[in-house]
Structure 1
Amino acid sequence: MAYDNVCKYLVEWFPESFARWLLGSPVPLIQLQPTELSSEPIRADSLILLRAQNLILHLEFQTDPDPDIPLRMADYCLRLFRRYPDQEVRQIVIYLRKTQSERVYQTSFQRGSLSHRFEVLRLWEQDPEVLSRYPGLLPLAVLAEPDNPEPRLRQVARAIAEMEDPKLRQELKAATAVLAGLTWTPEEISRVLGGLAVRESTIYQMWRAEALKEGREEGLKQGLEQGLQQGLQQGLQQGLQQGLQQEAARLTLSQLRRKLGSLPEDLSETIRLLPTEQLEALAEALLDFQTLADLIQWLRESSSN
């Protein structure tokens, strides 16, 4: 969900770019709150509603195929019709990562006599030149050519570097770096984009918070299961802590392997045994690593502190 939310932030900050791309003209778009639809539970974290004159644009960004998408789109359409009966509703699901799954071609929900249709865009089939015309779409353009990525990433980097507003450059560079991570390793991204001095950007902070939240929730789930099986309060506490630590170690090792390649088993074991606080610090520090020696040096300095 963290990657999907980066796209949500881009829509919120650059609605005109998305209006030009999806509607063909720079019509004013006003954001609607999902809570306006119903008091019943709704996936507000992924729902994007934009309102123009006589039109409501509903966007859903998906990193990977989701079997619940057709039902969800039908459900949201009915809620929108109930709340705005005189408005046309246009629903578009935008898939970010290339896949062979047939689910990304599903454009309808059918159950008995109920039939509902929606639109689907697969980013890897979009024209990157069109996406590159609008500032808010530049980070998406890097996903439009997954089979020949480096030239496009370099082009996007140049376009961002030419922008006069330093805040705009920082946010778009951060969004580009995050979304490029769906396809490329941190090392490849760093080689093309240069030094990723984006940690203070709003987009990076939001993405980082979401990624850590997802990791913690998974660790919490594992810890709860282990604690319940032990049946004791002490076991629950230990299970929670162990689950958080194990999930943090798994995520950190995965990032390290993408950054540096395969790791010696002794180093991997050392990292698995690090406490959660050190693992979170390592996850931040590894963005600046270039070689295995950088990791070894970091571990030495961390153990001596």
Structure 2
Amino acid sequence: MLPSRTGSVKIKVVMVMADAFPGNKYDITVKELFADSEEELVGFFASLSAEVVRHLNIEFPRVEIKRSDLILECRTEFGPAAVHLEFQSTNDSDIPFRMLRYATELQQKYRLPVYQILIYFGEREMTMADGLEYSFGPQNHLDYRYRAVDLGSIALEEIKNSGNTCLYALLPLTDRKKRKQKKEEFLRECVETIVHAPLNIEEKRQSLLRAEIFAGLVFDKPVIEQIFREVEKMLNIEESAGYRRIFEKGMEKGMEKGRQETLRESVLKLLHKKFKKIPRPYVDKIKSLDEYALGLILENIFEINTLSDLEEYL
């Protein structure tokens, strides 16, 4: 369960958003799914009443993929702060190190205290730590903590009763035990909650579309098809502006993937010529790189003379 939401403070925020679900089969970002309801998303998970002012960018080292999901510069009654929401679909034992890295880089760049929330929405229970600590000698200590939320441990009713209908799309990811036991019945309850919500037709269409995308992370395709098809036909969901926006985004992603595949083939071809034989683990890693990282390898191909040099880009 989430901690009590009493004592929330009014803030203004400046936001950064990047891909929230790197590597998942939908290739859809939180920015696209919640483009019109970021404030509700922040309010529920961070217990902060927020006003979005504008989007910003944050710089990372050139060979590192930008993985942070939602970064906010906030003004609160306690003073300014940076709020960072990180979305995770799988358990990652290295997440505390990544969160600490973000915290220190944010504080270094903005000179603000950093408030972080890890939001996990995977199929299995969350096993990730919520911080790091050690003590070595009399003067070397680390005691670092962030808030970790397992969406699957939150009851469906908690989101239903929150009053944030914009978050109903997340319902299929809640109540892990209940959704595993009841499956079709649980997903049908999620869909019916959206259908009967105090929303107009366009809002229901968008919420159902988002819910279907999230459902794909934890439900089998036949179950999703069975539950969603009838209601989508009834609401004519394909006429939704949100559907068209995400469909168009998917087309753009498809074009990007085409460029990425061409880059990947060029990188592998050049490296094979240079090294004659590349160990399989290196090939697998190169195949997982994004367009930016592949471009860096091509740009610096003449400086990459050993496999150790190559490792700096992987």
What TM-score results when the alignment is normalised by the length of structure 1?
0.60
| Equivalent in 50, 54, 70 of residue 72 of structure 2 | 50
Deviation of the 1:62 alpha carbon: 1.1
Deviation of the 1:177 alpha carbon: 0.9
Deviation of the 1:130 alpha carbon: 1.8
- Residues in 1 aligned to 2:81 and 2:28: alpha-carbon distance in whole angstroms: 23
Deviation of the 1:218 alpha carbon: 7.1
Q: Is the 8 A contact 1:46 1:60 kept in 2?
A: yes
Q: Is the 8 A contact 1:16 1:28 kept in 2?
A: yes
Q: 2:184 maps to which residue?
A: 150
Query: How do residues 122-133 of structure 1 correspond to structure 2 at under 5 angstroms?
Result: 122-132=150-160, 133=162
Deviation of the 1:11 alpha carbon: 4.5
Deviations 1:46-69 (A, max 9, x none): 421123323332111111123432
Q: Is the 8 A contact 1:4 1:62 kept in 2?
A: no
Q: Which amino acid letter does the alignment assign opposite residue 155 of structure 1?
A: E
SS for the counterpart of 1:182 is coil
1:80 correspondence with 2:89: no
Alpha-carbon distance change, 175 to 84 in structure 1, aligned in 2, over 3 angstroms: same
Q: Which amino acid letter does the alignment assign opposite residue 91 of structure 1?
A: Q
Q: Is the 8 A contact 2:90 2:122 kept in 1?
A: yes
Query: How do residues 40-189 of structure 1 correspond to structure 2 at under 5 angstroms?
Result: 40-41=61-62, 43-44=65-66, 46-53=68-75, 54-85=80-111, 87-99=112-124, 102=127, 104=128, 106-110=129-133, 113-132=141-160, 133=162, 134-145=164-175, 146-147=179-180, 148-162=182-196, 164-189=199-224
- Residues in 1 aligned to 2:229 and 2:51: alpha-carbon distance in whole angstroms: 35
Q: Is the 8 A contact 1:93 1:121 kept in 2?
A: yes
Alpha-carbon distance change, 161 to 88 in structure 1, aligned in 2, over 3 angstroms: same
Q: 2:46 maps to which residue?
A: 23
- Residues in 2 aligned to 1:84 and 1:177: alpha-carbon distance in whole angstroms: 37
- Residues in 1 aligned to 2:109 and 2:268: alpha-carbon distance in whole angstroms: 44
Deviation of the 1:28 alpha carbon: 2.2
- Residues in 1 aligned to 2:217 and 2:186: alpha-carbon distance in whole angstroms: 15
Deviation of the 1:180 alpha carbon: 0.5
Deviation of the 1:12 alpha carbon: 4.1
Structure 1 gaps of 5+ residues are: 233-305
Deviations 1:82-106 (A, max 9, x none): 2332x4421111111122573x2x1
1:190 correspondence with 2:212: no
Query: Greater helix percent: which structure?
Result: 1
- Residues in 1 aligned to 2:147 and 2:251: alpha-carbon distance in whole angstroms: 30
- Residues in 2 aligned to 1:126 and 1:210: alpha-carbon distance in whole angstroms: 32
Q: Which amino acid letter does the alignment assign opposite residue 95 of structure 1?
A: Y
Q: Is the 8 A contact 2:184 2:227 kept in 1?
A: yes
Q: Is the 8 A contact 2:188 2:227 kept in 1?
A: yes
Structure 2 gaps of 5+ residues are: 1-21, 275-314
Deviation of the 1:142 alpha carbon: 0.7
| Equivalent in 220, 242, 245 of residue 202 of structure 1 | 245
Q: Is the 8 A contact 1:171 1:201 kept in 2?
A: no
- Residues in 1 aligned to 2:254 and 2:68: alpha-carbon distance in whole angstroms: 15
Q: Is the 8 A contact 1:29 1:51 kept in 2?
A: no
Q: CA RMSD in A?
A: 3.7
Q: Is the 8 A contact 2:125 2:152 kept in 1?
A: no
